[in-house]
Amino acid sequence: MLKQFLPDQHVKSIFEISPKELKERNIKGIITDLDNTLVEWDRPNATPKLIEWFAEMKQNQILVTVVSNNKEARVKSFSEPLDIPFIYQARKPMGQAFRRALKEMGLKKTETVVIGDQLLTDVLGGNRNGFHTILVVPVAQTDGFVTRFNRRVERRILNWFRKKGMLQWED
């Protein structure tokens, strides 16, 4: 059961994910979380470095869709200026938003990765729906109310994975 929470890959930052690496694995699309994955949960806009990362993905024909549990106003105000498709109030880890993103990108699961900072939403949702999952270290040290609860549960799961030698990653 706990293996549903184990990411296929983990990185310190979204910026460690390169188009070259993705293309070598025949990945053509990214479903990514927004808050604390791409930017801090309370930062309204993309950073210049993140804008460059999106441009690099686009130049390499890798599609990106933001899939967030947050409200429409938050996700839209972040994504629209970047011309990035988005799905808000996704209800992750449920599968509907993942399937919708896949359909809108016109890709197969095997051609798509799910990237996020939370085990209970992003990794669990991606794993349950058959995607390759990549866990990133949260961008911010602070979280919204619901996420703070999730982080406590996640810490216990991550510690179990560490003790079993299934995940090497410092806090």
Which position has the token pair 């079993």?
164
Question: What pLDDT is attached to residue 171?
Answer: 46
CB atoms within 10 A of CB 35: 26
Are 125 and 114 contacting, i.e. CB atoms less than 8 angstroms apart? yes
Q: Measure the CA–CA gap between 113 and 22, rounded to whole angstroms.
A: 9
Whether residue 80 is predicted with pLDDT greater than 60 in this model: the reply is yes
Whether residue 149 is predicted with pLDDT greater than 60 in this model: the reply is yes
Q: How confident is the model at residue 1 (pLDDT cuts 50, 70, 90)?
A: low
Nearest to 136 by CA among 65, 44, 32: 32
Are 135 and 9 contacting, i.e. CB atoms less than 8 angstroms apart? yes
Q: Which amino acid is at 9?
A: Q
Write down the pTM of the prediction: 0.89
- 20-75 confidence digits (pLDDT tens): 999 999 999 999 999 999 999 888 899 999 999 999 999 999 999 999 999 999 99
Mean pLDDT of 78-102: 97
What contacts 93, CB < 8 A, 6 or more positions away? 120, 121, 122, 124, 125, 128
As a residue count, the chain comes to 171
Topology at the third CATH level for domain 2-163? Rossmann fold (3.40.50)
Mean pLDDT of 94-100: 97
Question: What pLDDT is attached to residue 145?
Answer: 63
Q: Long-range pairs for 108-112 at CB < 8 Å and ≥24 separation?
A: 110/26, 111/26, 111/27, 111/28, 111/29, 112/27, 112/28, 112/29, 112/30, 112/31
Domain residue ranges of the chain, discontinuous segments joined by +: 2-163
- 98-146 confidence digits (pLDDT tens): 999 999 999 999 999 999 999 999 999 999 999 999 999 988 776 666 6
* Distance, CA of 33 to chain centre: 4
